[in-house]
Amino acid sequence: MTSRTGDLFHVYDTTLRDGAQQEGLNLSVADKLAIARHVDGLGVGFIEGGWPGANPKDTEFFARAREELDLRHARLAAFGATRRAGVAAADDPLVAALRDSGAGVVTLVAKSHDRHVELALRTTLEENLAMVRDTVAHLRAEGQRVFLDAEHFFDGYRDNRDYALEVLRTAFEAGADVAALCDTNGGMLPTWVGDVVGDVVAATGGRVGIHCHNDTGCAVANTLAAVDAGATHVQGTLNGYGERTGNADLVTVVANLELKLGTEVLPAGLLREATRVAHAVAEVTNVPPASRQPYVGTSAFAHKAGLHASAIKVDPFLYQHMDPEGVGNDMRLLVSDMAGRASIELKGRELGFELDAATVQRVTARVKDLEARGFTFEAADASFELLLVEEVEGLRPAYVEVESWRVITETRIAEEAVSEATVKLRAGGARIVVTGEGNGPVNALDSALRQAISQLYPEIVKFELIDYKVRILDQGHGTDAITRVLIETTDGESSWVTVGVGHNVIEASWMALIDSLTFGLRRHDA
Protein backbone atom coordinates (compact mmCIF):
# COMPACT_ATOMS: atom_id res chain seq x y z
CA MET A 1 0.00 0.00 0.00
CA THR A 2 1.32 3.43 -0.96
CA SER A 3 1.23 5.97 1.86
CA ARG A 4 0.24 9.53 0.97
CA THR A 5 -0.81 10.78 4.38
CA GLY A 6 0.13 14.16 5.77
CA ASP A 7 0.68 16.99 3.31
CA LEU A 8 1.36 14.70 0.35
CA PHE A 9 -2.37 14.10 0.00
CA HIS A 10 -5.17 16.26 1.44
CA VAL A 11 -8.44 14.86 2.80
CA TYR A 12 -10.58 17.93 3.30
CA ASP A 13 -13.95 17.79 5.11
CA THR A 14 -16.59 20.42 4.39
CA THR A 15 -19.48 18.95 6.41
CA LEU A 16 -19.76 22.02 8.63
CA ARG A 17 -20.07 24.43 5.71
CA ASP A 18 -21.17 22.82 2.44
CA GLY A 19 -22.82 19.84 4.15
CA ALA A 20 -24.79 22.16 6.43
CA GLN A 21 -26.57 23.53 3.34
CA GLN A 22 -28.62 20.33 3.14
CA GLU A 23 -32.35 20.89 3.25
CA GLY A 24 -33.68 20.37 6.78
CA LEU A 25 -30.24 20.32 8.39
CA ASN A 26 -29.72 23.08 10.95
CA LEU A 27 -26.59 22.95 13.09
CA SER A 28 -26.02 24.93 16.27
CA VAL A 29 -22.53 26.07 17.24
CA ALA A 30 -22.40 23.26 19.81
CA ASP A 31 -23.39 20.79 17.07
CA LYS A 32 -20.59 22.04 14.83
CA LEU A 33 -18.01 21.72 17.59
CA ALA A 34 -19.16 18.17 18.32
CA ILE A 35 -19.03 17.18 14.64
CA ALA A 36 -15.55 18.66 14.29
CA ARG A 37 -14.31 16.45 17.12
CA HIS A 38 -15.84 13.35 15.53
CA VAL A 39 -14.42 14.12 12.08
CA ASP A 40 -11.00 14.75 13.61
CA GLY A 41 -11.19 11.23 15.03
CA LEU A 42 -11.29 9.90 11.47
CA GLY A 43 -7.90 11.49 10.82
CA VAL A 44 -8.78 13.92 8.02
CA GLY A 45 -6.26 16.64 7.28
CA PHE A 46 -8.58 19.66 7.14
CA ILE A 47 -11.97 20.59 8.57
CA GLU A 48 -13.75 23.56 7.01
CA GLY A 49 -15.56 25.27 9.86
CA GLY A 50 -17.74 27.74 7.98
CA TRP A 51 -17.77 31.32 6.73
CA PRO A 52 -16.75 33.75 9.51
CA GLY A 53 -18.15 37.21 9.01
CA ALA A 54 -20.90 36.01 6.70
CA ASN A 55 -23.14 34.84 9.56
CA PRO A 56 -22.94 35.17 13.37
CA LYS A 57 -23.08 31.41 13.99
CA ASP A 58 -19.91 30.73 12.01
CA THR A 59 -18.15 33.71 13.56
CA GLU A 60 -19.00 32.32 17.02
CA PHE A 61 -17.84 28.86 15.97
CA PHE A 62 -14.32 30.08 15.17
CA ALA A 63 -14.18 32.12 18.37
CA ARG A 64 -15.16 29.10 20.47
CA ALA A 65 -12.99 26.72 18.44
CA ARG A 66 -9.87 28.59 19.59
CA GLU A 67 -10.74 27.75 23.20
CA GLU A 68 -12.69 24.50 22.96
CA LEU A 69 -11.29 22.47 20.06
CA ASP A 70 -8.15 20.43 20.58
CA LEU A 71 -7.77 18.77 17.19
CA ARG A 72 -5.30 15.88 17.03
CA HIS A 73 -5.14 15.36 13.27
CA ALA A 74 -6.97 18.10 11.38
CA ARG A 75 -6.27 21.75 10.77
CA LEU A 76 -9.22 24.14 10.86
CA ALA A 77 -10.00 26.03 7.65
CA ALA A 78 -12.09 29.18 7.31
CA PHE A 79 -14.13 29.62 4.14
CA GLY A 80 -14.70 32.96 2.45
CA ALA A 81 -14.72 34.91 -0.79
CA THR A 82 -12.21 37.05 -2.61
CA ARG A 83 -12.40 40.79 -1.99
CA ARG A 84 -15.25 42.72 -3.54
CA ALA A 85 -14.73 44.52 -6.83
CA GLY A 86 -13.21 47.95 -6.37
CA VAL A 87 -12.26 47.39 -2.71
CA ALA A 88 -8.73 46.72 -1.43
CA ALA A 89 -8.32 43.31 0.20
CA ALA A 90 -7.04 44.90 3.42
CA ASP A 91 -10.20 47.04 3.64
CA ASP A 92 -12.80 44.35 2.90
CA PRO A 93 -14.64 43.42 6.14
CA LEU A 94 -15.25 39.82 5.03
CA VAL A 95 -11.56 39.37 4.27
CA ALA A 96 -10.83 40.84 7.70
CA ALA A 97 -13.10 38.21 9.28
CA LEU A 98 -11.02 35.50 7.60
CA ARG A 99 -7.86 37.18 8.84
CA ASP A 100 -9.21 37.35 12.40
CA SER A 101 -10.76 33.88 12.48
CA GLY A 102 -7.71 32.24 14.03
CA ALA A 103 -7.74 29.57 11.31
CA GLY A 104 -4.34 28.71 9.88
CA VAL A 105 -5.92 27.85 6.54
CA VAL A 106 -8.30 29.96 4.45
CA THR A 107 -10.26 28.51 1.55
CA LEU A 108 -11.24 31.26 -0.88
CA VAL A 109 -14.08 30.76 -3.32
CA ALA A 110 -13.46 32.51 -6.64
CA LYS A 111 -15.34 32.72 -9.91
CA SER A 112 -13.66 30.76 -12.71
CA HIS A 113 -16.55 30.88 -15.20
CA ASP A 114 -16.48 34.02 -17.32
CA ARG A 115 -20.28 34.31 -17.53
CA HIS A 116 -20.56 34.17 -13.73
CA VAL A 117 -17.97 36.92 -13.44
CA GLU A 118 -19.88 39.22 -15.75
CA LEU A 119 -23.44 38.31 -14.78
CA ALA A 120 -23.22 37.39 -11.08
CA LEU A 121 -20.28 39.53 -9.90
CA ARG A 122 -21.07 42.25 -12.46
CA THR A 123 -17.44 43.05 -12.99
CA THR A 124 -14.81 42.56 -15.68
CA LEU A 125 -12.72 39.47 -16.25
CA GLU A 126 -9.58 41.49 -15.50
CA GLU A 127 -10.95 42.76 -12.18
CA ASN A 128 -11.89 39.23 -11.14
CA LEU A 129 -8.29 38.13 -11.68
CA ALA A 130 -7.12 41.10 -9.60
CA MET A 131 -9.58 40.13 -6.84
CA VAL A 132 -8.08 36.63 -6.74
CA ARG A 133 -4.50 37.90 -6.85
CA ASP A 134 -4.92 40.58 -4.20
CA THR A 135 -6.85 38.44 -1.71
CA VAL A 136 -4.52 35.46 -1.90
CA ALA A 137 -1.44 37.65 -1.60
CA HIS A 138 -2.91 39.63 1.31
CA LEU A 139 -3.81 36.54 3.36
CA ARG A 140 -0.45 34.92 2.58
CA ALA A 141 1.29 38.06 3.81
CA GLU A 142 -0.74 37.77 7.03
CA GLY A 143 0.72 34.29 7.56
CA GLN A 144 -2.25 32.20 6.49
CA ARG A 145 -2.18 29.28 4.11
CA VAL A 146 -4.58 29.72 1.18
CA PHE A 147 -6.57 27.17 -0.83
CA LEU A 148 -8.67 28.28 -3.78
CA ASP A 149 -12.09 26.83 -4.58
CA ALA A 150 -12.60 27.51 -8.28
CA GLU A 151 -16.39 27.75 -8.41
CA HIS A 152 -18.21 26.42 -11.50
CA PHE A 153 -14.81 25.45 -12.87
CA PHE A 154 -15.89 22.64 -15.18
CA ASP A 155 -18.67 24.67 -16.77
CA GLY A 156 -16.31 27.61 -17.11
CA TYR A 157 -13.61 25.40 -18.64
CA ARG A 158 -16.04 24.26 -21.33
CA ASP A 159 -17.09 27.81 -22.19
CA ASN A 160 -13.70 29.52 -21.93
CA ARG A 161 -10.80 27.21 -21.16
CA ASP A 162 -8.15 29.92 -21.33
CA TYR A 163 -9.85 32.13 -18.77
CA ALA A 164 -10.63 29.29 -16.36
CA LEU A 165 -6.97 28.26 -16.42
CA GLU A 166 -5.87 31.88 -16.00
CA VAL A 167 -7.82 32.13 -12.74
CA LEU A 168 -5.90 29.14 -11.41
CA ARG A 169 -2.52 30.43 -12.58
CA THR A 170 -3.23 33.78 -10.94
CA ALA A 171 -4.00 32.09 -7.62
CA PHE A 172 -0.87 29.94 -7.78
CA GLU A 173 1.35 32.92 -8.64
CA ALA A 174 -0.07 34.84 -5.66
CA GLY A 175 0.78 32.00 -3.29
CA ALA A 176 -2.20 29.62 -3.18
CA ASP A 177 -1.23 26.09 -2.20
CA VAL A 178 -4.15 24.33 -3.89
CA ALA A 179 -6.72 25.07 -6.56
CA ALA A 180 -9.76 22.86 -6.03
CA LEU A 181 -11.85 22.43 -9.16
CA CYS A 182 -15.52 22.60 -8.20
CA ASP A 183 -18.29 20.80 -10.06
CA THR A 184 -20.69 23.25 -8.46
CA ASN A 185 -23.74 22.21 -10.48
CA GLY A 186 -22.88 18.52 -10.16
CA GLY A 187 -23.37 17.74 -13.84
CA MET A 188 -20.09 16.03 -14.68
CA LEU A 189 -19.28 12.39 -15.44
CA PRO A 190 -16.05 10.56 -14.54
CA THR A 191 -14.36 10.50 -17.96
CA TRP A 192 -15.07 14.21 -18.44
CA VAL A 193 -13.60 15.02 -15.02
CA GLY A 194 -10.50 12.95 -15.70
CA ASP A 195 -9.85 14.69 -19.03
CA VAL A 196 -10.19 18.18 -17.53
CA VAL A 197 -8.13 17.49 -14.42
CA GLY A 198 -5.35 15.93 -16.48
CA ASP A 199 -5.25 19.03 -18.69
CA VAL A 200 -5.24 21.39 -15.67
CA VAL A 201 -2.37 19.54 -13.96
CA ALA A 202 -0.31 19.68 -17.15
CA ALA A 203 -1.18 23.29 -18.00
CA THR A 204 -0.68 24.90 -14.58
CA GLY A 205 1.89 22.75 -12.80
CA GLY A 206 0.12 23.55 -9.53
CA ARG A 207 -1.49 21.35 -6.94
CA VAL A 208 -5.03 20.46 -8.02
CA GLY A 209 -7.97 19.47 -5.81
CA ILE A 210 -11.50 18.28 -6.54
CA HIS A 211 -14.89 19.21 -5.09
CA CYS A 212 -17.87 17.28 -6.49
CA HIS A 213 -21.62 17.39 -6.06
CA ASN A 214 -23.80 14.34 -6.63
CA ASP A 215 -26.45 15.54 -9.08
CA THR A 216 -25.56 12.84 -11.62
CA GLY A 217 -25.00 10.24 -8.87
CA CYS A 218 -21.29 10.33 -9.73
CA ALA A 219 -19.74 12.50 -7.00
CA VAL A 220 -17.58 9.71 -5.59
CA ALA A 221 -16.70 8.33 -9.04
CA ASN A 222 -15.86 11.83 -10.28
CA THR A 223 -13.60 12.39 -7.26
CA LEU A 224 -11.74 9.14 -7.89
CA ALA A 225 -11.38 10.01 -11.58
CA ALA A 226 -9.83 13.33 -10.58
CA VAL A 227 -7.35 11.57 -8.29
CA ASP A 228 -6.47 9.16 -11.07
CA ALA A 229 -5.78 12.17 -13.31
CA GLY A 230 -3.45 13.83 -10.79
CA ALA A 231 -5.54 15.57 -8.09
CA THR A 232 -3.99 15.29 -4.61
CA HIS A 233 -6.63 17.14 -2.62
CA VAL A 234 -10.17 15.73 -2.20
CA GLN A 235 -13.12 17.52 -0.65
CA GLY A 236 -16.33 15.94 0.59
CA THR A 237 -18.78 15.65 3.46
CA LEU A 238 -19.58 13.00 6.03
CA ASN A 239 -22.57 10.91 4.93
CA GLY A 240 -22.70 12.84 1.66
CA TYR A 241 -24.53 15.79 3.22
CA GLY A 242 -25.06 18.85 1.04
CA GLU A 243 -27.62 20.84 -0.89
CA ARG A 244 -29.73 19.23 -3.62
CA THR A 245 -28.50 15.64 -3.92
CA GLY A 246 -25.47 16.19 -1.69
CA ASN A 247 -21.69 16.21 -1.95
CA ALA A 248 -19.21 13.41 -2.46
CA ASP A 249 -19.37 11.10 0.57
CA LEU A 250 -15.93 11.55 2.08
CA VAL A 251 -15.89 8.17 3.84
CA THR A 252 -16.70 6.34 0.59
CA VAL A 253 -13.99 8.29 -1.24
CA VAL A 254 -11.36 7.56 1.40
CA ALA A 255 -12.34 3.89 1.76
CA ASN A 256 -12.08 3.40 -2.01
CA LEU A 257 -8.69 5.10 -2.11
CA GLU A 258 -7.28 3.03 0.74
CA LEU A 259 -8.98 -0.34 0.31
CA LYS A 260 -9.39 -0.54 -3.45
CA LEU A 261 -6.59 1.59 -4.86
CA GLY A 262 -3.99 0.87 -2.18
CA THR A 263 -3.36 4.52 -1.35
CA GLU A 264 -3.16 5.26 2.37
CA VAL A 265 -4.56 8.77 2.83
CA LEU A 266 -5.45 8.66 6.55
CA PRO A 267 -3.18 7.91 9.50
CA ALA A 268 -2.70 4.15 9.86
CA GLY A 269 -5.65 2.34 11.41
CA LEU A 270 -8.06 5.26 11.56
CA LEU A 271 -10.23 4.04 8.68
CA ARG A 272 -11.57 1.52 11.20
CA GLU A 273 -13.24 4.49 12.91
CA ALA A 274 -15.32 5.25 9.80
CA THR A 275 -18.57 3.55 10.82
CA ARG A 276 -18.47 4.96 14.34
CA VAL A 277 -17.75 8.49 13.12
CA ALA A 278 -20.38 8.41 10.36
CA HIS A 279 -23.07 7.25 12.78
CA ALA A 280 -21.99 9.65 15.53
CA VAL A 281 -22.24 12.59 13.13
CA ALA A 282 -25.69 11.37 12.05
CA GLU A 283 -26.79 11.47 15.69
CA VAL A 284 -25.65 15.09 16.01
CA THR A 285 -27.32 16.19 12.78
CA ASN A 286 -30.48 14.22 13.68
CA VAL A 287 -30.54 12.84 10.14
CA PRO A 288 -31.08 9.05 10.31
CA PRO A 289 -28.09 7.15 8.89
CA ALA A 290 -28.70 5.73 5.41
CA SER A 291 -28.78 1.96 5.90
CA ARG A 292 -27.56 1.34 2.33
CA GLN A 293 -24.64 3.77 2.55
CA PRO A 294 -21.48 2.12 1.16
CA TYR A 295 -19.03 0.74 3.72
CA VAL A 296 -20.64 2.19 6.87
CA GLY A 297 -24.39 1.59 6.39
CA THR A 298 -26.09 -0.99 8.59
CA SER A 299 -27.02 -2.89 5.42
CA ALA A 300 -23.61 -2.59 3.78
CA PHE A 301 -22.68 -6.12 4.87
CA ALA A 302 -26.16 -7.53 5.51
CA HIS A 303 -27.24 -10.79 3.91
CA LYS A 304 -30.85 -11.86 3.52
CA ALA A 305 -31.21 -14.57 0.90
CA GLY A 306 -30.75 -18.15 2.06
CA LEU A 307 -28.41 -18.86 -0.85
CA HIS A 308 -26.06 -16.10 0.31
CA ALA A 309 -26.13 -17.35 3.88
CA SER A 310 -25.29 -20.89 2.79
CA ALA A 311 -22.25 -19.60 0.91
CA ILE A 312 -21.16 -17.30 3.75
CA LYS A 313 -21.29 -20.26 6.11
CA VAL A 314 -18.49 -21.76 3.99
CA ASP A 315 -16.55 -18.54 3.35
CA PRO A 316 -17.76 -14.98 4.23
CA PHE A 317 -15.91 -13.52 1.25
CA LEU A 318 -17.99 -15.42 -1.28
CA TYR A 319 -20.63 -12.66 -0.97
CA GLN A 320 -18.62 -9.78 0.53
CA HIS A 321 -16.15 -7.52 -1.23
CA MET A 322 -14.09 -6.92 1.95
CA ASP A 323 -13.85 -7.60 5.66
CA PRO A 324 -16.28 -5.11 7.29
CA GLU A 325 -13.91 -4.70 10.24
CA GLY A 326 -11.71 -2.63 7.93
CA VAL A 327 -14.19 0.24 8.26
CA GLY A 328 -15.43 -0.65 11.74
CA ASN A 329 -18.64 -2.27 10.49
CA ASP A 330 -20.11 -5.75 11.02
CA MET A 331 -21.57 -8.49 8.89
CA ARG A 332 -25.27 -9.03 9.61
CA LEU A 333 -27.49 -11.99 8.80
CA LEU A 334 -31.08 -10.87 8.18
CA VAL A 335 -33.86 -13.16 9.24
CA SER A 336 -36.87 -13.07 6.92
CA ASP A 337 -39.22 -15.27 4.95
CA MET A 338 -36.44 -15.52 2.35
CA ALA A 339 -34.12 -17.04 4.93
CA GLY A 340 -33.10 -20.66 4.72
CA ARG A 341 -31.84 -22.82 7.54
CA ALA A 342 -28.26 -21.58 7.03
CA SER A 343 -29.39 -18.00 7.75
CA ILE A 344 -31.07 -19.05 10.99
CA GLU A 345 -28.07 -21.13 12.05
CA LEU A 346 -25.60 -18.32 11.39
CA LYS A 347 -27.82 -15.70 13.01
CA GLY A 348 -28.17 -17.93 16.07
CA ARG A 349 -24.41 -18.28 16.26
CA GLU A 350 -24.05 -14.50 15.93
CA LEU A 351 -26.33 -14.14 18.97
CA GLY A 352 -24.46 -16.79 20.96
CA PHE A 353 -26.61 -19.87 20.31
CA GLU A 354 -25.43 -23.16 18.84
CA LEU A 355 -28.66 -24.50 17.32
CA ASP A 356 -29.30 -28.16 16.59
CA ALA A 357 -30.98 -29.19 13.33
CA ALA A 358 -34.42 -29.63 14.86
CA THR A 359 -34.36 -26.15 16.44
CA VAL A 360 -33.15 -24.56 13.22
CA GLN A 361 -35.98 -26.17 11.30
CA ARG A 362 -38.54 -25.13 13.92
CA VAL A 363 -37.34 -21.51 14.06
CA THR A 364 -37.21 -21.25 10.26
CA ALA A 365 -40.81 -22.45 9.95
CA ARG A 366 -41.98 -20.07 12.66
CA VAL A 367 -40.24 -17.08 11.12
CA LYS A 368 -41.81 -17.77 7.73
CA ASP A 369 -45.25 -18.12 9.35
CA LEU A 370 -44.93 -14.89 11.35
CA GLU A 371 -43.67 -12.90 8.38
CA ALA A 372 -46.64 -14.12 6.36
CA ARG A 373 -48.80 -12.51 9.06
CA GLY A 374 -47.00 -9.15 8.86
CA PHE A 375 -43.98 -9.43 11.16
CA THR A 376 -40.49 -8.55 10.00
CA PHE A 377 -37.32 -9.65 11.74
CA GLU A 378 -34.65 -8.40 9.35
CA ALA A 379 -34.88 -4.98 11.02
CA ALA A 380 -35.92 -6.25 14.47
CA ASP A 381 -33.01 -8.30 15.79
CA ALA A 382 -34.18 -7.90 19.38
CA SER A 383 -37.58 -9.48 18.74
CA PHE A 384 -35.91 -12.31 16.84
CA GLU A 385 -33.51 -12.94 19.72
CA LEU A 386 -36.45 -13.23 22.13
CA LEU A 387 -38.11 -15.68 19.73
CA LEU A 388 -34.88 -17.68 19.57
CA VAL A 389 -34.57 -17.78 23.37
CA GLU A 390 -38.15 -19.02 23.59
CA GLU A 391 -37.47 -21.83 21.14
CA VAL A 392 -34.18 -22.86 22.74
CA GLU A 393 -35.22 -22.57 26.40
CA GLY A 394 -38.89 -23.43 25.96
CA LEU A 395 -40.08 -20.24 27.66
CA ARG A 396 -40.23 -16.65 26.47
CA PRO A 397 -38.41 -14.26 28.84
CA ALA A 398 -40.90 -12.21 30.87
CA TYR A 399 -40.44 -9.65 33.64
CA VAL A 400 -44.10 -8.67 33.98
CA GLU A 401 -47.40 -10.49 33.61
CA VAL A 402 -49.81 -8.14 31.87
CA GLU A 403 -53.40 -8.35 33.00
CA SER A 404 -54.86 -5.59 30.81
CA TRP A 405 -54.27 -2.13 29.43
CA ARG A 406 -56.43 0.62 27.96
CA VAL A 407 -55.95 4.08 26.44
CA ILE A 408 -58.27 7.08 26.38
CA THR A 409 -57.59 10.18 24.28
CA GLU A 410 -59.39 13.38 25.23
CA THR A 411 -59.61 16.37 22.93
CA ARG A 412 -60.91 19.75 24.01
CA ILE A 413 -61.64 22.64 21.70
CA ALA A 414 -58.59 24.89 21.15
CA GLU A 415 -56.40 22.60 23.29
CA GLU A 416 -53.97 19.83 22.48
CA ALA A 417 -55.23 16.26 22.80
CA VAL A 418 -54.09 14.38 25.92
CA SER A 419 -53.88 10.60 26.15
CA GLU A 420 -54.28 8.63 29.35
CA ALA A 421 -53.27 4.97 29.69
CA THR A 422 -54.09 2.53 32.48
CA VAL A 423 -51.95 -0.58 32.83
CA LYS A 424 -52.73 -3.52 35.12
CA LEU A 425 -49.98 -6.09 35.62
CA ARG A 426 -48.21 -8.34 38.08
CA ALA A 427 -44.51 -7.98 38.82
CA GLY A 428 -42.35 -8.95 41.75
CA GLY A 429 -45.22 -10.89 43.32
CA ALA A 430 -47.52 -7.85 43.47
CA ARG A 431 -50.47 -6.57 41.44
CA ILE A 432 -49.81 -3.09 40.11
CA VAL A 433 -52.30 -0.64 38.60
CA VAL A 434 -50.86 2.58 37.18
CA THR A 435 -52.19 5.44 35.07
CA GLY A 436 -49.87 7.51 32.87
CA GLU A 437 -50.35 10.50 30.60
CA GLY A 438 -48.69 11.37 27.33
CA ASN A 439 -48.97 13.44 24.19
CA GLY A 440 -50.26 10.38 22.35
CA PRO A 441 -51.53 6.86 23.09
CA VAL A 442 -48.15 5.17 22.72
CA ASN A 443 -46.38 7.78 24.83
CA ALA A 444 -49.02 7.35 27.54
CA LEU A 445 -48.63 3.54 27.50
CA ASP A 446 -44.86 3.86 27.71
CA SER A 447 -45.20 6.29 30.62
CA ALA A 448 -47.59 4.02 32.54
CA LEU A 449 -45.43 0.95 31.97
CA ARG A 450 -42.33 2.73 33.25
CA GLN A 451 -44.12 4.01 36.33
CA ALA A 452 -45.42 0.54 37.09
CA ILE A 453 -42.05 -1.20 37.27
CA SER A 454 -39.37 1.50 37.65
CA GLN A 455 -38.86 0.73 41.35
CA LEU A 456 -38.62 -3.00 40.74
CA TYR A 457 -36.39 -2.60 37.66
CA PRO A 458 -34.48 0.71 37.99
CA GLU A 459 -32.51 -0.14 34.84
CA ILE A 460 -35.40 1.11 32.68
CA VAL A 461 -34.53 4.69 33.61
CA LYS A 462 -31.73 4.35 31.04
CA PHE A 463 -34.07 3.12 28.30
CA GLU A 464 -35.19 5.75 25.79
CA LEU A 465 -37.29 5.36 22.65
CA ILE A 466 -35.33 6.96 19.81
CA ASP A 467 -37.28 5.90 16.73
CA TYR A 468 -40.84 4.82 15.97
CA LYS A 469 -42.03 3.60 12.59
CA VAL A 470 -45.54 2.59 11.51
CA ARG A 471 -46.47 0.76 8.33
CA ILE A 472 -49.95 -0.18 7.21
CA LEU A 473 -50.08 -3.64 5.62
CA ASP A 474 -52.85 -4.86 3.29
CA GLN A 475 -53.86 -1.26 2.62
CA GLY A 476 -56.74 -2.39 0.45
CA HIS A 477 -58.57 -3.32 3.64
CA GLY A 478 -58.77 0.36 4.62
CA THR A 479 -59.16 0.98 8.35
CA ASP A 480 -59.32 -2.79 8.94
CA ALA A 481 -55.75 -3.24 7.65
CA ILE A 482 -52.98 -4.88 9.68
CA THR A 483 -50.50 -2.46 11.26
CA ARG A 484 -46.78 -3.09 11.87
CA VAL A 485 -44.76 -1.00 14.31
CA LEU A 486 -40.97 -0.91 14.72
CA ILE A 487 -39.53 0.70 17.86
CA GLU A 488 -35.86 1.47 18.41
CA THR A 489 -34.68 1.84 22.01
CA THR A 490 -31.33 2.82 23.48
CA ASP A 491 -29.73 2.42 26.89
CA GLY A 492 -27.13 5.09 26.11
CA GLU A 493 -24.55 2.54 25.00
CA SER A 494 -26.29 0.61 22.23
CA SER A 495 -29.73 0.31 20.65
CA TRP A 496 -32.15 -2.44 19.69
CA VAL A 497 -35.24 -2.73 17.50
CA THR A 498 -38.44 -4.62 18.27
CA VAL A 499 -41.54 -5.30 16.19
CA GLY A 500 -45.25 -5.53 16.91
CA VAL A 501 -48.16 -6.40 14.62
CA GLY A 502 -51.83 -5.89 15.34
CA HIS A 503 -55.22 -4.81 14.01
CA ASN A 504 -54.52 -1.24 15.15
CA VAL A 505 -51.48 0.91 15.78
CA ILE A 506 -51.89 0.91 19.57
CA GLU A 507 -52.05 -2.88 19.82
CA ALA A 508 -48.97 -3.23 17.60
CA SER A 509 -47.14 -0.54 19.57
CA TRP A 510 -47.86 -2.25 22.89
CA MET A 511 -46.43 -5.50 21.57
CA ALA A 512 -43.25 -3.76 20.41
CA LEU A 513 -42.98 -1.86 23.74
CA ILE A 514 -43.19 -5.07 25.78
CA ASP A 515 -40.54 -6.72 23.59
CA SER A 516 -38.33 -3.67 23.93
CA LEU A 517 -38.63 -3.68 27.71
CA THR A 518 -38.03 -7.44 27.92
CA PHE A 519 -34.97 -7.36 25.67
CA GLY A 520 -33.45 -4.43 27.54
CA LEU A 521 -33.95 -5.95 30.98
CA ARG A 522 -32.56 -9.28 29.77
CA ARG A 523 -29.50 -7.52 28.38
CA HIS A 524 -28.98 -5.82 31.75
CA ASP A 525 -29.50 -9.13 33.62
CA ALA A 526 -32.40 -7.66 35.58
> Over the stretch 324-377, which tens digit does the pLDDT of each residue have?
888 987 766 655 444 456 667 767 777 777 888 888 888 888 887 887 788 877
Residue at 295 is within a domain:
no
**Rounded CA gap, 10 and 178, in Å?**
10
Residue 337's identity, in one-letter code, is: D
Domain at 194, CATH number? 3.20.20.70
Kindly tell me if the per-residue pLDDT of 407 is higher than 50.
yes
Task: Please check whether residues 346 and 493 belong to one and the same domain.
Answer: no
Task: Please check whether residues 229 and 340 belong to one and the same domain.
Answer: no
Task: Please check whether residues 121 and 233 belong to one and the same domain.
Answer: yes
Task: Please check whether residues 500 and 353 belong to one and the same domain.
Answer: no
**Rounded CA gap, 138 and 133, in Å?**
8
* Kind of pairing between the strands at 418-427 and 430-438: antiparallel
Domain at 409, CATH number? 3.30.160.270
Task: Please check whether residues 139 and 266 belong to one and the same domain.
Answer: yes
* Kind of pairing between the strands at 418-427 and 401-410: antiparallel
**Rounded CA gap, 175 and 181, in Å?**
17
CA separation, residue 27 to residues 20, 30, 81, 244, 251 (Å): 7, 8, 22, 17, 20
Kindly tell me if the per-residue pLDDT of 89 is higher than 80.
yes
Q: Give per-residue pLDDT as tens, 91-149.
A: 999 999 999 999 999 999 999 999 999 998 899 999 999 999 999 999 999 999 999 99
Residue at 293 is within a domain:
no
> For 152-231, where are the alpha helices, taking DSSP H only?
153-159, 161-174, 190-204, 219-228
Task: Please check whether residues 43 and 133 belong to one and the same domain.
Answer: yes
Structural domain count, the chain: 3
Task: Please check whether residues 81 and 168 belong to one and the same domain.
Answer: yes
Residue at 292 is within a domain:
no
Residue at 21 is within a domain:
yes
Asked whether the beta carbons of 203 and 228 are under 8 A apart, the reply is no
For the chain, the straight-line distance linking the first and the last C-alpha, in angstroms and rounded, comes to 49
How much is the average pLDDT of 436-450? 90
Q: Give per-residue pLDDT as tens, 149-208.
A: 999 999 999 999 999 999 999 999 999 999 999 999 999 999 999 999 999 999 999 999
Domain boundary (372, 388, 415) is at 372
CA separation, residue 503 to residues 482, 488, 517 (Å): 5, 21, 22
Q: If DSSP codes are grouped into helix, strand and coil, which group holds residue 419?
A: strand
> What's the mean per-residue pLDDT of the chain?
88
For residue 85, what are the domain limits?
2-285
For the chain, helix (H) and strand (E) counts, in that order, are 17, 18
The closest of 3, 59, 5 to 32, measured between CA atoms, is 59
b/e 314-331 (16+ beta carbons within 10 angstroms → b): eeeeebbeeebeebbbeb
How much is the average pLDDT of 407-411? 89
- The per-residue pLDDT for 345 is 73
Residue at 268 is within a domain:
yes
